[in-house]
Structure 1
Amino acid sequence: MSATIRSRLSVPFLDSVGEEDEHGPASKALARPWMSYWPPQVGSEVYLLLQQTAPEALSWRFNPTRPFDRPWQTWVKAAISAGKPCVSRVLSPGNASGGCSMPTSETTPAPSQRLGASRPRPLDAEIAALGLPFVAPQQLNYLSDDSLYDVSKPFHTRLPFLGEIRRSNITGQGYSGIRIHDLSDHEDEFTLDISGFQYLRVPTVIRDWTKEAVESHYLPEMETWLKGFFGAQRVHIYAYTFRCDNRERTSTEHWVGPFMRAHCDVSLNSGLRRLDLHLPHDANQIKKGRWRMVGLWRALTGPHQDQPLAVLDNRSLVQDDLIPADIVFPHYCDEGYEVRYSPLHRWFYKQRMTSDDALMFKLYDSSSDVSRFCPHSAFIDPTVPRDTPQRASVELRAIVID
């Protein structure tokens, strides 16, 4: 094959791991199989498939001034039509890694470095003192204990094709008997810097949830609110997502289903490098001070949600529970965390959220003195009425700069 054929396509590409992996030297030893295929070689299988089905994927370039330009949403439809969906397997409770027993306050913490501010036992005492009710869904999904992840880094991709390998190597594992506590009427007991999440009343005038309304009105409204809430100098909203299992809920918007596996959207690596991606001219200056990355989630259907969002209290989390995973975009290899099951985990949600309620959760914090991450996952609530409509929601992600 000639040098021309073997050459890589000239795609400006940023890897969140960079030259230094914030998780330590051992992380470098893991295989990253997608790197054999992207950026693509001219004339390769991926290159030719894209030429035929989604040629714009070869020419598109990311523009930081247009963060909501996400053309891979249509490219993925092309992959599905071509019989190459990106679907991760989920093992049911009792299969492979097995299910789990009901977590209890008698569980003794493992001798591992804790991310949270305290051990689970005080948190269990707080749950008992508040008398929080709970639901126990049929299953809550985590990353499986597949030995593959001892040698290969978990990944999934927003690219429509990935050559001879699957577009994801992630297998989930369902666990049963996990209690998810309803903290309704006790929201003030759980705060962003301690628990990693906070439930807030954030009324909005928006009632017509379209792309145009969100970008023209809702995001500027939330930018102003976030500045006031944090006393921030600057807020940069870099992503938003509509979610509903009914993908055709409206004909003009792109809806994706609720994400049914415990995860964090940002890691130690990508928390740093997303500044370089979204705010390239100011990143070095911002890194001298404190900044946060937060998610703001809002249910658009109520008063019940059939698939609410659950959040894991940071006080029940250890560093070893978080497994770095690549999320491959055409211009950027993002990194998030998959989450391994632990009986120490304590999960929470809020019943009957309205469109004026919001859940804010930590994606990343440059300060290591507070909660930095908040694992979260949708789950099927077995207690809602049978005629409950499919949950619809909108979420945004923002960089908040002190």
Structure 2
Amino acid sequence: MASPDFDIRTQADFLADLPIYEDEKPYYLHASDAAGDRLDQVKITNVQWDTRPVTVRSMRDNPDIGLNKSGFTFWKHKSNYLPHQGMSEEMVSKYRTEGEDLLRSAFNAELVRCYDFKMRKNAPMTLEKFDPQDPLLVEQAAVGAHDITLDTVPRLVKPLLDEEQLLTFFKPGYRFRLVNSVEPEDLVATDRVYPGRHQEIYHLKYNTQQRWYWLPKQRRDEPLLFLTYDSKSGTNARYCPHVSVHNPLASPNAPPRESVETRNLIITKLDSSED
């Protein structure tokens, strides 16, 4: 039974339920620094937030929490290469490889590919340049409840595989996972446009039936995992909307939260019970 001692009352940002989105799709434009002064004449987003009070419950000792059941969980694992600000690209590479090895073993996977790495710091900052391919880039915490859409996954996955892997895995018998209480009508597809590529994510509208969880007193050896996509449809979780919130239990003098995030493609064989 989860302890209620760490349940918190806080606020989360949701996509505002506005008439404009009936005719105009929500979007973000992530322009490169090469755009220069031209950005001053461009509306980079039409997203508007609706801030709502939410109760966030502890996931510790909660039998309802699991990757297949709820779409998220946490493990015990001590990293040998935990990145930090100022580290080398070599350490980032070793951390990514370590994570791939961990996931390959845990899922008995045919293939694991870490396709993204981010460091985040929950503090105001100004980026003089934005290069999404920079492995040492430190970003702020993501805003608004969101997740990747199911329709955008094939466009994301195919560039990660070579021709032989595409022929091997893009056929029946394999299960694809992307490891980063929701009603489908709460999800609104939103475009994220980067230099040279386009991604679609879900933003979440507020619903009183939603349930939110966090990992209180998370330690450095407790990585949090959540699904952003599962190709297997059924009673299992297929995605996991997520959001950053203020922690009212934290000391006012506590340093800003810092985190390391990887995104991984995991391909496993379907067993007979999953066909």
Separation in 2, partners of 1:219, 1:269: 26
* TM-score w.r.t. length of structure 2: 0.84
Deviations 1:276-329 (CA, angstroms, capped at 9, x unpaired): 22225233542312111112xxxxxxxxxxxxxxxxxxxx21111111111111
Alignment of 1:257-296 (within 5 A): 257-264=140-147, 266-279=148-161, 281=163, 282-283=165-166, 285-288=168-171, 289-295=174-180
Q: Percent identity of the aligned residues? A: 25
Q: 1:192 aligns with which of 67, 70, 76?
A: 67
Matched, 1:179 2:45: no
> 1: distance between equivalents of 2:88 and 2:119?
9
CA distance in 1, matches of 2:103, 2:228: 15
Local SS of the residue matching 1:201: coil
List gaps (5 residues or longer) in structure 2: 127-134, 269-275
Structure-1-length-normalised TM-score: 0.58
**Partners of 2:81 and 2:68 in 1: CA distance:** 29
Q: CA RMSD in A?
A: 2.0
Q: 1:6-21 alignment to 2 at 5 Å? A: none
SS in 1 for 2:75: strand
Cα gap change, 1:208 to 1:170, in 2 (>3 Å): closer
Mark the structure with the bigger radius of gyration: 1
Deviation >6 Å, runs of 4+: none
Structure 2 equivalent of residue 44 of structure 1: none
Structure with the larger RCO, 1 or 2 (CA within 8 Å, 6+ apart): 2
Please tell me whether residue 145 in structure 1 is matched to residue 35 in structure 2.
no
The one-letter amino acid paired with 1:168 is T
CA distance in 2, matches of 1:211, 1:163: 34
Could you say which structure has the higher strand fraction?
A: 2
Task: Give 5+ residue unaligned stretches, structure 1.
Answer: 1-128, 296-315
Q: Does 1:239 align with 2:130?
A: no
Equivalent residue letter for 2:178: M
- 319-328 or 269-278: which moved more? 269-278
Residues 171 and 388 from structure 1, CA distance in 2 versus in 1: closer, same or farther, beyond 3 angstroms? same
Deviation at 1:216, TM superposition (A): 2.8
Q: In the alignment, what sits opposite 2:81?
A: 206
Once the two structures are superposed, the pairs formed by residues 328-367 of structure 1 within 5 Å of their partners are 328-367=193-232
Distance 1:364 1:214, change over 3 A: farther
Aligned positions, number: 247
Query: Which whole-Å deviations, capped at 9, do the CAs of 1:10-43 have from their partners, x for residues lacking one?
Result: xxxxxxxxxxxxxxxxxxxxxxxxxxxxxxxxxx
Which residue number corresponds to residue 243 of structure 2? 377
Task: Judge conservation of contact 1:197–1:360 (CA < 8 Å) in 2.
Answer: yes
Deviation at 1:245, TM superposition (A): 3.3
Q: 1:220 to 1:188 in 2, by over 3 A?
A: farther
